[in-house]
A = this chain, B = another copy of it.
Amino acid sequence: MQLVLTEDQELLAKTAADFVEERSPVARFRALRDAGDPVGFSKTLWKEMAELGWVGIPFPEAVGGAGMGLSELAVVMEALGRRLAPEPFLSSVLLGGQAVLLGGSDAQQSRWLAPLVAGDAFLALAQQEPRSRYDLHRVACRAERSGAGWRLTGEKVQVLDGHVADALVVVARTSGAESDAEGVTLFLVEPDAPGVMCERQHRVDTRGAARVVLAEAEVGADALLGAEGQGGALLAAVVDRANVGLCAELLGLMAECFARTLAYLKDRVQFGVPIGSFQALKHRAAEMFIEVELARSCVMAAARAVDAGAEDAAKLVSLAKARCSDAALLVTNEAVQMHGGIGMTDEHDIGFYLKRARAAAQSFGDAAAHRSRWADLGGY
């Protein structure tokens, strides 16, 4: 494992940074929010990103992908994270797409991944439930055999970009009690199937999400994704991949938020001097710098470990998610405080960083949950 960008990755980083700077300033995110845009991101821009090959990065060439890994996707998601671009890498490429990639049959893969990679279809993962918190094993949604197919009943919340998904990967329980580790199965469900209700939710970070109610929703036998009762391991692998991407986004977010705060510290004059000359703020800025640098190392390591199928990949993912969550909260909280009153206003962009950091930190395991997982994996 080499913790340094390859030349190709450097180039990708540069391209992504230029693209984001030109096409996706924070003002674009703000405009989407102010307009109450029902999609929540730009399908046009998404198509362009697909054409640039970014959407297909972690997919095989067979479905039109680049056959690259999370190490490359992280570079792109970091750049997007810097300007809060809401395009559905996390939801569609990682959560939904990787589930189909890792668990899907050939038929399912060619049905969904090719259009996804082309930027024409969207997938989402319907996993979170009102009571499941960060416990991936906790699944109340039930699937029962119904004729040749299945009948699903349950409630899913905060299904990221579920409101625009062409297919939902639904985590359901085919056996066992609500919190059993075993008995979880994944299904590919199209939102227009009978008994499926989707409604848009509104989160503090303005990212698109949906509440999905499955009321005896009927799906065919071909909806089964992976083997019956084997969904737990598949889900864990998918969420690990998603967390790497989420961490890359958080890394970009915190790096940019820190850079903006640093610029403010140098510009803002009070008592006749730039406030960045006050030693207490300097030391706090240095602490932030340290956390951002450490987070970067962890994200790079986690991406490379997952790509390599390394033995300690899960540990490194939890390391990255714990650190990125804490570091992003530290940096964004400090950013608002150091910006003072202006940082509290909606018209200033820094608050967006605070909101997104909190939402990302409290998704797919917060820092404490990932420290606990680290301890589990460490055997204590």
Rounded to whole angstroms, the CA-CA distance of A283 and B283 in the bound complex is: 11
Rounded to whole angstroms, the CA-CA distance of A278 and B278 in the bound complex is: 9
Decide if the interface of chain A is mainly helix, strand, loop or mixed. helix
Asked whether any CB of chain B lies closer than 8 Å to the CB of A279, the reply is yes
As for how many copies of this chain the complex holds, the number is 2
| Per-position binary interface string of chain A over residues 273-296, scored 1 when its CB falls under 8 Å from any chain B CB and 0 otherwise | 000001110110000000000000
| Per-position binary interface string of chain A over residues 222-263, scored 1 when its CB falls under 8 Å from any chain B CB and 0 otherwise | 000000000000000000000000000000000000000000
Rounded to whole angstroms, the CA-CA distance of A279 and B283 in the bound complex is: 10
Say which size band chain A's interface belongs to: under 10
Please give, as numbers and ranges, the residues of chain B lying within 8 Å of A283 by CB-CB distance. 280
Please give, as numbers and ranges, the residues of chain B lying within 8 Å of A279 by CB-CB distance. 278-280
Please give, as numbers and ranges, the residues of chain B lying within 8 Å of A280 by CB-CB distance. 279-280, 282-283
Closest B residue by C-beta to A278: B279
Closest B residue by C-beta to A286: B280
Please give, as numbers and ranges, the residues of chain B lying within 8 Å of A282 by CB-CB distance. 280
Rounded to whole angstroms, the CA-CA distance of A333 and B198 in the bound complex is: 55
Rounded to whole angstroms, the CA-CA distance of A279 and B281 in the bound complex is: 9
A270–chain B nearest beta-carbon distance, Å: 13
Rounded to whole angstroms, the CA-CA distance of A280 and B286 in the bound complex is: 12
Closest B residue by C-beta to A281: B279
Rounded to whole angstroms, the CA-CA distance of A365 and B313 in the bound complex is: 38
Rounded to whole angstroms, the CA-CA distance of A259 and B28 in the bound complex is: 54
A273–chain B nearest beta-carbon distance, Å: 12
A183–chain B nearest beta-carbon distance, Å: 31
A282–chain B nearest beta-carbon distance, Å: 7
Which of chain A's residues 277-321 have a Cβ closer than 8 Å to chain B? 278-280, 282-283
Rounded to whole angstroms, the CA-CA distance of A282 and B283 in the bound complex is: 12
Rounded to whole angstroms, the CA-CA distance of A282 and B280 in the bound complex is: 8
Closest B residue by C-beta to A284: B280
Rounded to whole angstroms, the CA-CA distance of A153 and B374 in the bound complex is: 42
A274–chain B nearest beta-carbon distance, Å: 14
Rounded to whole angstroms, the CA-CA distance of A282 and B282 in the bound complex is: 13
Rounded to whole angstroms, the CA-CA distance of A280 and B283 in the bound complex is: 7
Rounded to whole angstroms, the CA-CA distance of A308 and B232 in the bound complex is: 56
Closest B residue by C-beta to A282: B280
Rounded to whole angstroms, the CA-CA distance of A283 and B287 in the bound complex is: 15
| Per-position binary interface string of chain A over residues 81-102, scored 1 when its CB falls under 8 Å from any chain B CB and 0 otherwise | 0000000000000000000000
A239–chain B nearest beta-carbon distance, Å: 29
A163–chain B nearest beta-carbon distance, Å: 37
A266–chain B nearest beta-carbon distance, Å: 17
Rounded to whole angstroms, the CA-CA distance of A15 and B282 in the bound complex is: 45
A105–chain B nearest beta-carbon distance, Å: 48
Rounded to whole angstroms, the CA-CA distance of A278 and B281 in the bound complex is: 11
Which of chain A's residues 211-230 have a Cβ closer than 8 Å to chain B? none
Rounded to whole angstroms, the CA-CA distance of A283 and B278 in the bound complex is: 11
Q: What are 6 inter-chain pairs, A to B, with CB distance below 8 A?
A: A278-B279, A279-B279, A279-B280, A280-B280, A280-B282, A280-B283
The 6 closest A-B pairs by CB, nearest first: A279-B279, A279-B280, A280-B283, A280-B280, A278-B279, A280-B282
